[in-house]
Structure 1
Amino acid sequence: MGRPLVKPPVRKGPNRRQFFRQSGSGTAALAASTLMPLGGAMASAVANVFQHGVASGDPLSDRVILWTRVTPATARGAVTVQYLVARDAALTQVVLRGSTKTHPDRDYTVKVDAAGLQPGTTYYYQFKAEGVDSPIGRTRTLPVGQVDRLRMAVVSCSNHAYGYFNAYRHIAERADLDLVMHLGDYLYEYGINQYGTARTPEPAHEMVTLADYRMRHAQYKRDADLQAMHRQHPMIAIWDDHEITNDAWKDGAQNHTEGAEGVWAERVAQALKAYYEWMPTRVPDASDLRKNWRGFRYGDLAELLMLEERVSARSQQLIESGQFTQTGAFTDASRGLLGETQEAWVASSLRNSKARWKFLGQGVMFAQLKGVGAANAAGGGSFLNADQWDGYQPARNRIYDILKGNATTPGVDNVVVLTGDIHSSWAADLTQDPNNADVASGGYNRVTGEGSRAVEFVGTSVTSPGLNDPQGSTAAFLRSQNPHFKYIDLMRRGYMLIDATPQRVVGEWWYVDTVASISHVQAFGTAFEVQAGTNRLVPSAQTTPRANPPQLAP
């Protein structure tokens, strides 16, 4: 369906999430959080100059991106910023010192690619500008060689207007994590009362210009809980759509009106310029900011492949809402999310990886999701969301071809897909024909998991709303139509914890009690695991944190 001719002043939420309708209970407007980051009260000068905190990201075995933003007391040109990296939280064992400059052209943000570090090592870092020291941050490089464990938090869909980032605070307090993976919708574009009323967005209107995107990033980075998470852990992040605007594709978006909201190519360029300024992320290709896909090697244990599924090559969604079948244009093999170049990179990376586990970090659900299931190898039944991989089934089949292999090319085992976007929790076996019980003909055995080629863990949102399903009846219905799903929770919000060893990968779901107010309550939900070589999920249990983890930043 097309866009309305007149854009309404208040939006009820993204079209593709109509399936997850709000309960209608409403949320009272709340004042912005005034909590300081972990470590106690800070001097007012520090709070002013470094009011957006510190962060690190895109770790490699010998380097990591260090980030901050300086707020000069008066309007001026370039500002000199010093930095140091040390092995201890007291900053006495300094291993790296340097200085750089920031200026208005990059909105006074600072990014340092701190090189010459040791693999698998925790470091502490600090900036200095305007005669003031920043808060101390903690980060960690990736290991090399034989590795026995990876432990990371996985988050997505953090809508500031919809509530408080309590999940981020709990992640900050987990000292034994190696990193945080953010799977997109780090921030949202909507204006006041358009998608959440708990906190007022800055600017109050939908972000469209470079100044708008910068202001919204700045507001998010002032959040105490977001700052706490960034200060304690390095982040590997990809964008989904809301970092630009809802249901984006390479040449437009559902929430973009050409002309009235500028030129699409310019809007994307402005959104991505602000993104790279404000996120602790390397620029993979300075000549084309849309090419954000990249990989990270975690010793011999894991390969982390981060996919770009929005603005580099995605074909336009065929419908905005409503159920559909795999017929007509949905069978067009030229349509895709990744494009030929990225698909080739994924194929090569998976086939040539020497790591035990291959993680695909990506934005939209890979598993089939049907409102009405039907056994048919061509994709029978009716599907619910044309924005996710269901809307691009031929492209998904090409990924399955990589996993299955052929007479000349071996298949790929031990692939784990990590997904955000859908504001709810899901665990799935990945199979092309989940409603066909005949494994011999390419089907899937829902009891044994036979026929599954990989698994998918879908994390819930940090704040964005799911579906009001207190009795679990909708989740139960969806499982009845989709036998490859082992777990569905449509309501609760929080984060995922992934714990990987050479023998298995465990996915845990952790939930906060509320996002309507600041809260320090979290609860373990459930866990599933995939054992090496099986490519299918089984129930699991809460994992044990590492003993004696490195000290948190003060």
Structure 2
Amino acid sequence: MKRFYDRRFVLSAMASAVLSACSSRPQVSHPNVDSATGHSKNKNANFYRHGVASGDPASDSVVLWTRLSVASTNSDANVSWELAESPDFNSLVAQGDCLTNKEKDFTVKVIPSRLNPGTTYYYRFVFRGSPSPVGRTKTLPTGRVEKYGVALASCSNFAFGYFNAYDAIAKDTNVDLVLHTGDYIYEYGAQGWGSEVAQKLNRVHEPAHETITLDDYRTRHAQYKTDKGSQAMHAAHPLVSCWDDHESANNPWLSGAQNHQTKTEGEWTDRRAASVQAYYEWMPIRDPKSMDERLAFSRAYKIGDLADLVTLETRHTARAEQINYLNYTDKINSIEDANRFKSMIIGAPGREMLSRRTEQLVKDTFTSTQHRPWRLLGNASPIARMLVPDINKLKILEDERPEQLETKAAKALKWKAKYNLPFYTDTWDGYPWARQKFYEACQSVDATDLIFLTGDSHSFWMNQLNDDHGTPMGIELGTAGITSPGDFIESGYSGDVARKLDRAFESQLDEVVWTDNFHQGYVRLNLTQSNAKTSFIAISTVEETNYTISTLKETVIERGHNGVQFKA
């Protein structure tokens, strides 16, 4: 294992690097700050249009982030920062100064170190005498931990509506940490996916064209962080994240992406580098220096004696090109053809998803001498087997409108159902060899009690997992989109048919226990030493900022002789 994955080494190195540029200083008072509230007296100063954020926590440090809204100049901007254990900032734990400039897009990151574990802190930045909004964060605990709450979020498309689920997470008092498993931004232009809703809500993507250059990605990140729900969540809880595809372009692999055309959009490596640079600038995460380390965005976190969490990089370090069904529709004319396709094309040996580096990180983390009750994996896309059931035989579409049955989405679904093909080919179902290889790597360290925390599909899921030989491997909790709509609803099916499709996936697929494609929202996982409680939380609307929340389903996860399972 390379030292990059030694967490203590990383934290020490990164903290030293940041603090060399962002120095500590004696405590000072600020004439434009109300000492009672901690807020600015200067109401005209709006240097913090993108809010504040924290993330990538350790037991003794955490990343603090903001961005200055100033005119782009060649001059450096000096920003002060303060950290305290109370929101009035009467007694500071740490403070310092940091320089930023246009090379960093005027983003600011500091990593105060030597903090106490499991402790809530408040932080703010001060520029030209004007303070930022106050943020709250928390270091990871050490030692005995009786309970811990994780909010699982994914698929936040600005064009499709307001980030109300983020706002709900901000207000959720049972959350200690937010895990975002990808599609934090979307690359599409103003006329792309979601444009009709965007026009109605005045949430049209900026820039108007698809994001390609560094300036494009910076502008898109900036737009997403103007959402009030996003600002509330980031100011309330620390973030851990992994990316999926839309942070760069739809369905990337090592050498390209489905939504990248070299002839008109330049070299894929240039676009990928631009997207990754903007991501590191605009997210509250620690900054490796080399591009290889930046692409290898898998990290490990220890939550006292309660849980280990590893985030998986599945897009830019190993992934083979996903299979495009359109290249095979004329070649699959029977069940035998379909079975050969699944075994020899989709299931071909060598079709990777994870790098060796990431696999080793998982093995090293889950073989720690102190075995914690819960092994969590931040996973961008579903790993459960989702071969489309025979909805034709079940006659689910009989009552659907004739015009809907003529859509591309309906024809594609019926074709996949006829031959029992994977619902998606860019999830782990499109890489079954890699999935089994990863399961076997986990089995080699006796880690068969995994909890995958998954995004990407825009639907809620409860899945019970097994390897190719039927060996139980754990469970998967999938979250709906923050705003991105569920596939069946977005594809135009009636509510009744979409509901029947959900029930068919539950009843016909061995690994799917429950699913819902009707709602947007988030999943909350509350861990204790004896069990874990999962809540699937839905938002009433994303098309206005007044919303309500409801709990669609709650379930308890127990440990048994076969690892972890949903309580009957």
TM-score range, shorter chain: 0.7 to 0.9
CA distance change for structure 1 residues 184 and 320 in 2, over 3 Å: closer, same or farther? farther
Which residue matches 1:390? Answer: 429
Alignment root-mean-square deviation, CA: 2.2
* Letter of the structure 1 residue corresponding to residue 367 of structure 2: R
Whole-angstrom CA distance in 2 between matches of 1:273 and 1:310: 16
Counterparts of 2:245 and 2:291 in 1: how far apart (Å)? 21
1:273 aligned partner: 277
Q: In structure 1, how many angstroms separate the alpha carbons of the residues matched to 2:420 and 2:207?
A: 43
Q: Distance in 1 between matches of 2:343 and 2:85?
A: 58
Shift, 1:114, TM fit: 1.3
Aligned partner of residue 264 in structure 2, secondary structure: coil
Moved more, 231-240 or 277-286: 277-286
Equivalences for residues 340-379 of structure 1 within 5 A: 340-352=356-368, 354-372=371-389
Question: What amino acid maps onto 1:214 in structure 2?
Answer: R
Query: Is this contact kept in 2: 1:46–1:133, CA < 8 A?
Result: no
- Which amino acid in 2 is paired with 1:161? A
- Which one is further off, 84-93 or 73-82? 73-82
Which residue number in structure 1 is paired with residue 116 of structure 2? 118
1:382 deviation in Å?
2.2
Residue 11 of structure 1 aligns with which residue? none
Match for residue 82 of structure 2? Answer: 84
Equivalent residue runs for 1:116-195 within 5 Å: 116-195=114-193
Matching residue's letter, 2:92 = V
Structure 1 residues 335 and 47, CA, compared in 2 at 3 Å: closer, same or farther? farther
Q: Structure 1: which amino acid aligns with 2:359?
A: E
CA distance in 1, matches of 2:376, 2:102: 38
> What is the letter of the counterpart of residue 541 of structure 2?
T
TM-score after normalising by structure 2: 0.80
Does residue 1:484 correspond to 2:494, yes or no?
no
1:330 Cα deviation from its structure 2 partner: 2.2
Whether contact under 8 Å (1:88, 1:123) holds in the other structure is yes
Match of 2:303 in 1: 298
Query: For residues 140 and 479 of structure 1, what CA distance do their matches in structure 2 show?
Result: 38
What amino acid is the match of 1:412? A
Give 1:432 deviation, angstroms.
Answer: 2.6
Q: 2:526 aligns with which of 499, 519, 522?
A: 499
Match of 2:323 among 311, 318, 326: 318
Amino acid of the structure 2 residue aligned with 1:480: S
Q: How many Å apart are 1:234 and its aligned residue?
A: 0.4
Whole-angstrom distance in 2 between the partners of 1:530 and 1:80:
49
Within 2, Cα distance between the matches of 1:333 and 1:222? Answer: 45
Unaligned runs of 5+ in 1: 1-38, 374-379, 434-441, 444-450, 541-554
What SS does structure 1 have at the residue aligned with 2:421? Answer: strand
Whole-angstrom CA distance in 1 between matches of 2:455 and 2:159: 18
Match of 2:259 in 1: 255
Q: CA deviation at 1:93?
A: 2.1
CA contact (8 A) 1:46 1:134 kept: no
Aligned pairs, number = 478
- Offset from partner CA, 1:200-221 (integer Å, 9 cap, x none): 1110111100000000111111
- Which deviates further from its counterpart, 334-343 or 219-228? 334-343
Q: How far is 1:527 from its partner?
A: 1.7
Q: Which amino acid aligns with 1:537?
A: Q
Paired residues of 1:254 and 1:320 also in contact (CA < 8 A) = no
SS in 2 for 1:244: coil
Q: Secondary structure at the match of 1:259?
A: helix
Pairs within 5 Å for 1:177-256: 177-197=175-195, 198=198, 199-256=203-260
Q: Which runs of 5+ in 2 are unaligned?
A: 1-36, 333-337, 391-418
Indicate if the aligned counterparts of 1:372 and 1:383 stay in contact, CA closer than 8 A.
no
Contact 1:285 / 1:292 at 8 angstroms: preserved in 2? no
Q: Which residue of the partner structure matches residue 420 of structure 1?
A: 455
Shift of 1:484: 2.0
Deviation at 1:253, TM superposition (A): 0.5
SS at match of 1:260: helix
> Deviation of residue 402 (structure 1)?
3.3
* Aligned AA (2:439): Y
**Partner Cα distance (2:544, 2:434) in 1:** 42
- The corresponding residue for 1:544 is none
Residues 284, 292 of structure 1: 8 Å contact kept: no
1:286 maps to 2:306 = no
1:43–1:334 distance in 2 versus 1, CA, 3 Å: farther
1 or 2, which has the higher helix percentage? 2
Q: Contact 2:38 / 2:87 at 8 angstroms: preserved in 1?
A: no
Residue of structure 2 equivalent to 1:464: 484
Equivalent residues of 1:428, 1:537 under 8 A apart: no
Inter-partner Cα distance in structure 1 for 2:110 and 2:224: 21
For residues 106 and 320 of structure 1, do their structure 2 counterparts lie closer, same or farther at Cα, with a shift above 3 Å needed? Answer: farther
Q: SS at the partner of 2:430?
A: helix
Residue 472 (structure 2) pairs with residue 452 (structure 1): yes
Shift of 1:423: 0.3
> Which SS does the other structure have where 1:230 is aligned?
helix
Cα distance in 1 between the residues matched to 2:509 and 2:305: 34
